[in-house]
Amino acid sequence: MKKNEELCEGEVIHEETVKKVRATFPEDEMIFDLADFYKIFGDTTRVKILYALDKSDLCVCDISALLGMSVSAVSHQLRTLRESDLVRTNREGKVIYYSLADDHVKSILECGIEHIKEKE
């Protein structure tokens, strides 16, 4: 490993601060899981589905009509969202309704929208 002076091209490393922050870091596996979690939000179709489910529980046909997509394409995205524990299902007779898994998902969406609106 390089000396501190070489890492920052003449800048001083605040070793105590670095040590303090490093002690708060989660394990690498948690960091990888967090990055994978946020990748789910990197797809506009999935974000549209989550936004729609934030407004109302919907069946796959409703989501398909809302987004102008095939039922198959919507089902594929819903499977990804279910596997990521972002949506849950509720069966009523033959119809399966989708909803956000919990208030954390709602908060993530709302915080993201607030953040973007701040820039406007």
Helices (H), 8-102: 15-24, 28-39, 44-55, 60-67, 71-83
What is the pLDDT, as a whole number, of residue 120? 80
Give the whole-angstrom CA distance, residue 86 versus residue 38: 11
Percent of the chain exceeding pLDDT 70 equals: 93
- pTM score: 0.84
Q: Does domain 15-118 have CATH number 1.20.120.160?
A: no
Read off the pLDDT of residues 4-36 as tens digits, 9 standing for 90 and up: 445 667 788 899 999 999 999 999 999 999 999
Domain spans of the chain, in order of start: 15-118
Query: Which pLDDT value is given to residue 119?
Result: 86
Mean pLDDT for the stretch of residues 49-56: 97
For residue 5, the model assigns a pLDDT of: 46
